[in-house]
C-alpha cells in the first residue's frame, strides 16, 4: 500500500539524519525530496536514496556540510556548497535571491561546490509563492548526452525551471530536463526491469534502443527533440545554456572538464537561481491576472482528444499531488527494497510498508 506523504517524508528524514545530516537540514531536504514524489516527479525523490548513499560512501558528498556565502552585492551572491548535498545549498540560494528581489527588484545567486539538489521546480515555486518570477538551472553529474551530430557524451540532463505567479495555487511552473527524458525516469525503468520507450536512448552506434541500461553499455541519452530531424539541436542548445549559467557563472567544474565530479571530496555541481519582481515593470496584480487569463485560455483550447484536455505547465504535477495526498505515494517494490536495505544498514528506523 502506498505510504502517506507524511510517512514518506519522515522516512527520508530519518535516513538523512542517520547519515549524519543535521536535523534542520534533514527535515528541509526530506521535504524537497518528498515534494518531488508527491508531484509525480518520481525521478528526483526517494529513488535518489541509493544514488546518494553510494556517493556519500565514496566520499563525494559531505552530509554535514553547510553552505557559505562567499561573495555578495545588493542583487547577487555566490554560495560555496562545501561539498554538501545540493538541496540545502539550493534552498539557501533561492531564499537569498528572494530576499534581494523583495528589496531591489531582482536577485541572482550562483552556487558552486554542490551536488544533486532534486527537482528544479521546487525552488522556482519558492519564488512564485512570494509573488515573484523564478528561474532555476543546474549542471549535472552524469555525462550521458551526445550533442547533435555527435557520437560522444558531452552533456547531462541539464534541467531548467521557470515559474510565474498567476491565480493563487495555480502558477505557471515549467520544470524540464533538456534531454528527451530525465535520467531518473530511465533509472526507474531499470529498477523495475521495464523497457524504455523509443526515442529516449540510442546505442553507441546511434541506433534507437529501448534498453534502460543502454548508457552503461556505451550508449547515450538524447537531447530534447531526440534526433536531428526532430530538432535535437534545440535541446542541445538549451543544455549548453544551462551549463553556462550554472557552472561557468559560479566557477563550478564544467561538465566538459576532464576533472568533472573527480575533485576530492566534492562533485562540484553548479546551480543558478533568479528571482524577479514583476512590479519592476507594472502593477503585480495586473501581471498575475494576465498570467492567469493566459493560462486559462490555453486550457480552453479545443482538445484533439476529448479525454485529454489541454493543460499548462504545473497542472499535471498539481493533479498528481492532489491524488497522492489522498491515496499515498506509490514506490516500486524493487526500489522500496533497496531503500529499506540502505535505511537499516545506516541505523535508521524503517517506518514505511510495502
User: Strands, E, within 177-319: which ranges?
Assistant: 201-202, 208-209, 220-221, 269-276
**DSSP assignment string, 132-193:** -EEEEEE--S---BPPTT-SS--B----EEEEEEEETTEEEEEEE-SBSS-HHHHHHHHHTT
For residues 94 and 132, membership in a common domain is answered with yes
For residues 71 and 53, membership in a common domain is answered with no
Q: The domain spanning residue 172 has which CATH number?
A: 3.30.1370.60
For residues 16 and 85, membership in a common domain is answered with no
Residue 335 lies inside a defined structural domain of this protein = yes
pLDDT of residue 177: 93
What are the per-10-residue average pLDDT scores of the chain (354 residues)? 94 98 98 98 95 96 97 98 98 98 98 98 98 98 89 92 97 96 83 88 86 91 88 96 98 97 95 98 98 98 97 98 97 94 97 80
Residue 137 lies inside a defined structural domain of this protein = yes
* Distance of alpha carbon 218 from alpha carbon 149, whole angstroms: 16
Number of neighbouring beta carbons within 10 Å of residue 273: 33
Q: CA angle 43-47-50, nearest 5°?
A: 135
For residues 102 and 172, membership in a common domain is answered with yes
For residues 325 and 276, membership in a common domain is answered with no
pTM for the whole structure: 0.94
Dmax (CA) for the chain in angstroms is 55
pLDDT of residue 227: 81
Q: Which residue has the cell 562567499?
A: 70
pLDDT of residue 215: 86
* Distance of alpha carbon 224 from alpha carbon 211, whole angstroms: 18
For residues 241 and 102, membership in a common domain is answered with yes
Residue 142 lies inside a defined structural domain of this protein = yes
For residues 121 and 24, membership in a common domain is answered with no
Residue 207 lies inside a defined structural domain of this protein = no
Coil, helix or strand for 16?
helix
The end-to-end CA distance of the chain, in Å, is 6
Domain region containing 328: 1-58+314-354
DSSP H or E stretch at residue 31: helix 23-38
Domain boundary residue among 285, 304, 331?
285
| Number of domains present in the structure of the chain | 2
For residues 23 and 74, membership in a common domain is answered with no
Q: Please, are residues 49 and 339 in contact by the beta-carbon 8 Å criterion?
A: yes
Residue 343 lies inside a defined structural domain of this protein = yes
Residue 306 lies inside a defined structural domain of this protein = no
For residues 8 and 150, membership in a common domain is answered with no
For residues 78 and 130, membership in a common domain is answered with yes
Residue 74 lies inside a defined structural domain of this protein = yes
pLDDT of residue 354: 54
Residues in the chain: 354
Coil, helix or strand for 113?
strand
For residues 1 and 28, membership in a common domain is answered with yes
pLDDT of residue 188: 82
Q: The domain spanning residue 22 has which CATH number?
A: 1.10.1530.10
pLDDT of residue 311: 98
* Distance of alpha carbon 223 from alpha carbon 145, whole angstroms: 7
1: which residues sit within 8 A by CB, 6+ positions away? 328, 353, 354
Residue 240 lies inside a defined structural domain of this protein = yes
For residues 111 and 52, membership in a common domain is answered with no
pLDDT of residue 184: 75
Amino acid at each position: 500500500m502506498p505510504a502517506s506523504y507524511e510517512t514518506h517524508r519522515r522516512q527520508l528524514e530519518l535516513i538523512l539524519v542517520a547519515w549524519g545530516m543535521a536535523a534542520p537540514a534533514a527535515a528541509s531536504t526530506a521535504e524537497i525530496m518528498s515534494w518531488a514524489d508527491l508531484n509525480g516527479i518520481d525521478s528526483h525523490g526517494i529513488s535518489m536514496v541509493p544514488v546518494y548513499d553510494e556517493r556519500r560512501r565514496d566520499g563525494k558528498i559531505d552530509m554535514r556540510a553547510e553552505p557559505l556565502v562567499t561573495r555578495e552585492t545588493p542583487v547577487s551572491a555566490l554560495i560555496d556548497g562545501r561539498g554538501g548535498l545540493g538541496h540545502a545549498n539550493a534552498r539557501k540560494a533561492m531564499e537569498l535571491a528572494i530576499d534581494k528581489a523583495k528589496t531591489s527588484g531582482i536577485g541572482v545567486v550562483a552556487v558552486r561546490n554542490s551536488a544533486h539538489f532534486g527537482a528544479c521546480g521546487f525552488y522556482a515555486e519558492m519564488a512564485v509563492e512570494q509573488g515573484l518570477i523564478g528561474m532555476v538551472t543546474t549542471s549535472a553529474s552524469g555525462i550521458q548526452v551526445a550533442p547533435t551530430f555527435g557520437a560522444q557524451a558531452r552533456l547531462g540532463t541539464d534541467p531548467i525551471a521557470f515559474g510565474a505567479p498567476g491565480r493563487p495555487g495555480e502558477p505557471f511552473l515549467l520544470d524540464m530536463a533538456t534531454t528527451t527524458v530525465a535520467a531518473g525516469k530511465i533509472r526507474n525503468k531499470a529498477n523495475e526491469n521495464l523497457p524504455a520507450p523509443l526515442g529516449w536512448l540510442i546505442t553507441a552506434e546511434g541506433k534507437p534502443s529501448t534498453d534502460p541500461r543502454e548508457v552503461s553499455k556505451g550508449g547515450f541519452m538524447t537531447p530534447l527533440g531526440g534526433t536531428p530531424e526532430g530538432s535535437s539541436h534545440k535541446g542541445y542548445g538549451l543544455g549548453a545554456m544551462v551549463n553556462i549559467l550554472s557552472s561557468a557563472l559560479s566557477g563550478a567544474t564544467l561538465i566538459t572538464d576532464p576533472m568533472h565530479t573527480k575533485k576530492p571530496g566534492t562533485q562540484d555541481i553548479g546551480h543558478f537561481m533568479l528571482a524577479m519582481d514583476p512590479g519592476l515593470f507594472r502593477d503585480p496584480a495586473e501581471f498575475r491576472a494576465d498570467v492567469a487569463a493566459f493560462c486559462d485560455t490555453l486550457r480552453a483550447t479545443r482538445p484533439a482528444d476529448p479525454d485529454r484536455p489541454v493543460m499548462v505547465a504545473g497542472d499535471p504535477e498539481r493533479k498528481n499531488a492532489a491524488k497522492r495526498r489522498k491515496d499515498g505515494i506509490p514506490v516500486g517494490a524493487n526500489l522500496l527494497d533497496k531503500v529499506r536495505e540502505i535505511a537499516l544498514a545506516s541505523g535508521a528506523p524503517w517506518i514505511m510498508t510495502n
